[in-house]
Amino acid sequence: MSGPGPSRWATFSTREEEARKRTTPDRVLMERVYGYAEKHKRSLFAGMASIVLTSLTGLASPYMHQLAIDKIIVPGDLSGFTWWIPLFVTIVLSNHLFQYIQTYRMRLVGENVVADMRDDIMDKLQTISLRYFSEGEIGRIISRPITDANTVRIFLRVGLTSILMDASSILGAFTMMYILDYRLATLALVMLPVSLLTIWYLGKYSRAAYRRAAVVTAGLTARMQEDLAGIKVIQSMVIEEKVKERFEEQQDSTVKANSRAILISSSYMPLIMFLRLIGTIAILWYGTELFGTAGVTIGVLVAFTEYQFNYFMPLMDLMAMYDQYQSAMTAIERLFDLIDTKAEVLEAPMERRLELP
Amino acid sequence: MSVAQPLLDYVKALKPRRSFTESVSAMKRLLGYHRKYSLYVALTIVLSLARSYLFTLEPLYTSLIIDQVIVGGHSDLLLGYLEIILLSGVGVGLCAFAMTYVQGVMSQYIIRDIRSEYYSSLQEKSFSFYDSIAVGDLISRATMDLQMADSFVRMWLGTIFNALFLVGTTFVILYSVSPTMTLIPMATMPLIFYFTSRLWVYTMPLFRNMQLILGKLSSYIQQDIIGMKTVRIFRRQGDIVDGFKQVERIYVDTAVAAGRMQAIYMPVSSTLLSLGITLVYVYAAYSTLSGGAAFTVGDIVLFARYLMRMSFPLRDLSQLLGTWVIASAGLERVFEVTDTHRVVEDLPSARDIPITKGKVQFEHVTFGYSKKRPVLTDVSFTATPGEKIAVLGATGSGKSSLIYLVPRFYDIDSGRIAIDGIDVREFKLSSLRRQVGVVLQDVFLFSGTIKDNIALGRPDASPEEVVEVAKIARIHDFIESLPNKYDSEVGERGVTLSGGQRQRMTIARALIANPRILIMDDSLSFVDARTEQEIQSAVEEATRSRTTFIIAQRLSTIKNADRIVVFEDGRVIEFGTHAELMAANGTYRRIYETQFLGKAADISNKGGDLK
């Protein structure tokens, strides 16, 4: 019905169009969001650089422990503390500093970008055709500046930071592990696909369970909608007790559906932790076997188990972010859909208006 | 000046202090809901104790492997130690799983209880409550706000006890290795506590304000969108957007300020604990070399690792507070409604009274939705048993209010309404309303079958009774023409009924209890001539031998009424039969001649077109 290119956004999308899967590539959406962030370019780059530096300084820490054990404590050479302590303290404090810069700057950018987008939406709302405000459509329009904007806000506040941070943590941890010992690192790497698969598979399961729970919850909402719209009839017919009972029943089935979803999602974290533990045990076992051979010292083993601990958490986080990322992209697309809607009736120029009787 | 002025004033007047006490009282109340589920609470605590204990085993045995297997060369011990690490890991996993599940289910129950209580209270709220609040708002409290509460309830116990037990067991183990060195992490605790509490003292009010501003902004947007037509007509777009942008800026500033506080204080605990590790290394190394207490490499690694891991539960604890701020705001909104006084209530002396005759007396009745502006003033008249009274008056003259007072949908301010000589307040509300049939202007049908809808007030009614009232309401023939007859579904997924059909359904519904008194708000005026006629005969049949108050738009209804009461500005100005009032040559006659004769002509024209 509508032509290709950005012009197809000239009108607000219909319900059917909205239900369809996203059509705009992520890259395009990102570029447009960047357009809003450009005003805060300095904060944005300072923030992103700090994110990477935060995870790098975080990763330096286990390596520093390895040095302390192997170079100072085991040989009993206390003079090493003269360089180790200042270095370690510097790393810890700069990690804190980078965390500060990162959190503050990204918050600044995120809040401003969402506010600017929302201001544009409010401006646009005042000018687009009144037919978009017909009764059945109002809910959809309202959800743009409220629900969708909120989704984007949460994503920019935590999601984006997490993705950058987790990705650099994982890459960094593996780099460090390979520097420390390639054999143990390969062992840790072998664990990766197994873990990823498990996380992915479980995620699929729990998403399905939550979708089912969402359907039941939607039923609860529909029940309330109907009851409350008909509350005057309910009271005049004196059937309040019956309505309450019916609501309790619906609630009980909601509890049941949700509990099932909770059962599945409860197993998520423990399973991941268990996989991590298997990795730790493999490293301890193989590491002890290797002990004494080229480069495998106590410090290396200690640092290794710590790195292995460190890359698992971000991995899980990253998986959880996938959903958030998807829904944020959908929300962003919807916001632009409204922003790009053409104003149909433009204001008459001022002079003209004055001529009116 | 600006439309957004009240919103701006509200946002600027937000007080951070008061919120704290409110949040404490919400917590107390939330705790009360846990009482029924004390078993779940106990189970969570036990599991978290077990989990914390098992969790500390892994670093402990890692350090043993370092000391005994690697340094000491006892490679035969390795497998056994690894086994313990594995088993403890499995144990931790099982405990964590059970904890999450138990807490999640408990939270489901607690939220259900809060929601049920909220919903029950809604059923009891008076009409005046619903006049002043949007249904959407009520639903969002029961869903969104309670969802926020849920995300707090399903983690708070576990997080608190986890932090408590984990820090506790860690200290016990560290103490057994070296009492002196335990002083190092011990010293960081007050500092961590101090900085974390700083964080929350600063940010909690900010977060709360953010929640509140966001809520207000959302309803502001909603109002703008819903009222867009009016906004455009009065050309207030500029105003509205400017006000919005101002408030939006305040929100951004608050959020950034809160973010800055978080940025400074959040990483404090892990920084302090990391710095503590330096002291551990230095102290342990010096002590061992100088011949003091000797530490193995394993001991040192153990200390360092515990210090690093201790920051996790502490961080969780501080995030929990953030969850609480949002949850408490949601709970307050729910409790606010639950606690709203229901206004129309049974008197302690109220009882079940059967209405035998159906005489209705209004004696000096004065009533208003707000005390200052009465809608009805000193209304007095009597309807004799079986009499049909048409209520006539301009919009806002108080005629709807009048008929709503009979089943006590609202309470009057002064005077008395009596049925068969007994004050309506002497009746139990349920007893009164069961015996007064009501046909509201809003022809609302519930989803379900036609039969369900007709038998709404009396689910035990026999199929014959349902058919009988459907016949009286002149809807039986239509129902019979449907494929599933009385079992046809109405509503979204079922058959669609026209306005006239819906109205006759509601008439049948009101008759099912065979009430002695019937009140009808018959304002449906935009129907074609045939429907008009059908409704008319339904009304005639339904009102036969019942005391009826009917707000009428139709000429025929009015003429067929036994008597007519005419309202103007909340006062009865004329009362009598059609003939009497015509003869009196007053307001009624004027209305009759200008309005009804004109409209009657209009309707017959329309009917002509249809043919």
Cβ distance B86 to A273 less than 8 Å, yes or no, reads no
Instruction: Decide: helix, strand or coil at residue B92.
Output: helix
Would residue B237 count as lying in a domain?
yes
Q: For residue B170, what is the domain's CATH number?
A: 1.20.1560.10
- Identify the residue whose tokens are 């918050």: A107
Q: For residue A65, what is the domain's CATH number?
A: 1.20.1560.10
Q: Which residues on B lie below 8 Å from A126 (Cβ)?
A: 231-232, 237-238, 240-241
Instruction: Decide: helix, strand or coil at residue B439.
Output: strand
The answer to whether A94 faces chain B, any CB pair under 8 Å, is no
pLDDT in tens, B30-48: 999 999 999 999 999 999 9
| Probe site for chain A from B108, B299, B517 (most A CB atoms < 10 A) | B108
**Residue A348 above 60 pLDDT?**
no
Would residue B175 count as lying in a domain?
yes
pLDDT of residue A135: 54
Instruction: Decide: helix, strand or coil at residue B388.
Output: strand
Give the minimum alpha-carbon distance from B95 to chain A in angstroms, rounded to a whole number: 9
Same domain? For B329 and B375 the reply is no
The answer to whether B526 faces chain A, any CB pair under 8 Å, is no
Compute the distance between CA of residue B24 and CA of residue A279 in angstroms, rounded to an integer: 44
Range of the domain at B407: 360-445+513-610
| Probe site for chain A from B278, B316, B490 (most A CB atoms < 10 A) | B278
The total number of structural domains in chain A stands at: 1
Same domain? For B326 and B374 the reply is no
Same domain? For B328 and B427 the reply is no
| Probe site for chain B from A235, A262, A271 (most B CB atoms < 10 A) | A235
Residue type, A298: I
Cβ distance A270 to B96 less than 8 Å, yes or no, reads yes
| Among A68, A81, A107, beta carbon nearest to B259 | A107
Same domain? For B248 and B386 the reply is no
Would residue B195 count as lying in a domain?
yes
The answer to whether A226 faces chain B, any CB pair under 8 Å, is yes
Would residue A127 count as lying in a domain?
yes
Would residue A278 count as lying in a domain?
no
Same domain? For B376 and B438 the reply is yes
pLDDT of residue A17: 62
Compute the distance between CA of residue A48 and CA of residue B35 in angstroms, rounded to an integer: 47
pLDDT in tens, B69-88: 888 888 888 889 989 988 99
| Probe site for chain B from A59, A81, A96 (most B CB atoms < 10 A) | A96
The mean predicted confidence, pLDDT, of chain A is: 80
Looking at the predicted complex, does its ipTM rise above 0.95? Answer: no
Compute the distance between CA of residue B517 and CA of residue B360 in angstroms, rounded to an integer: 9
Would residue A338 count as lying in a domain?
yes
Q: For residue B530, what is the domain's CATH number?
A: 3.40.50.300
- Mean pLDDT check: name the lowest of A57-61, A294-298, A350-354, B140-144: A350-354
Q: B106-144: buried (b, 16+ CB within 10 Å) or exposed (e) per residue?
A: bbbbbbbebbeebbbbbbbbbbebbeeeebeebbbbbee
Q: Which residues on A lie below 8 Å from B275 (Cβ)?
A: 89, 92
**How many Cα atoms occupy the beta-carbon half-sphere of B449 within 13 Å?**
14
pLDDT of residue A22: 63
Cβ distance B256 to A280 less than 8 Å, yes or no, reads no
Same domain? For B305 and B385 the reply is no
Would residue B277 count as lying in a domain?
yes
**Are B418 and B517 within 8 A, CB to CB?**
no
Would residue A85 count as lying in a domain?
yes
> pTM for this one?
0.79
Highest mean pLDDT among A36-40, A68-72, B28-32: B28-32
Same domain? For B333 and B381 the reply is no
| Among A61, A95, A103, beta carbon nearest to B263 | A103
* Angle at CA of residue B437, ends B431 and B439, nearest 5°: 140
Instruction: Decide: helix, strand or coil at residue A272.
Output: helix
Same domain? For B439 and B529 the reply is yes
Chain A (295-314) residues lying within 8 Å, Cβ to Cβ, of chain B: 298, 301-302, 305-306
Same domain? For B364 and B334 the reply is no
Chain A (16-55) residues lying within 8 Å, Cβ to Cβ, of chain B: none
Would residue A288 count as lying in a domain?
no
DSSP assignment string, A35-74: HHHGGGHHHHHHHHHHHHHHHHHHHHHHHHHHHIIIIIIT
Same domain? For B237 and B316 the reply is yes
Q: Which of B197, B196, B213 is nearest to B254 (CA)?
A: B213
Same domain? For B371 and B266 the reply is no
Same domain? For B313 and B400 the reply is no
Encoded tokens for B82? 């690894």
Would residue A292 count as lying in a domain?
no
Would residue B63 count as lying in a domain?
yes
Chain A (336-355) residues lying within 8 Å, Cβ to Cβ, of chain B: none
Cβ distance A100 to B222 less than 8 Å, yes or no, reads no
Flag residues of chain B having pLDDT under 50. 1, 601-611
Cα B607 to Cα B205, B265, B531, B602, B603, distances in angstroms: 66, 78, 10, 9, 6
Range of the domain at A119: 8-180+323-345
The answer to whether B93 faces chain A, any CB pair under 8 Å, is yes
Q: Which of B338, B368, B400 is the last residue of a domain?
A: B338
Would residue A112 count as lying in a domain?
yes
Q: Which of B292, B307, B338 is the last residue of a domain?
A: B338
Instruction: Decide: helix, strand or coil at residue B483.
Output: coil
Would residue A36 count as lying in a domain?
yes
pLDDT of residue A356: 43
Instruction: Decide: helix, strand or coil at residue B459.
Output: coil
Burial (CB count <10 Å: 0-12, 13-18, 19+), residue A135? exposed
Give the minimum alpha-carbon distance from B393 to chain A in angstroms, rounded to a whole number: 23
The total number of structural domains in chain B stands at: 2
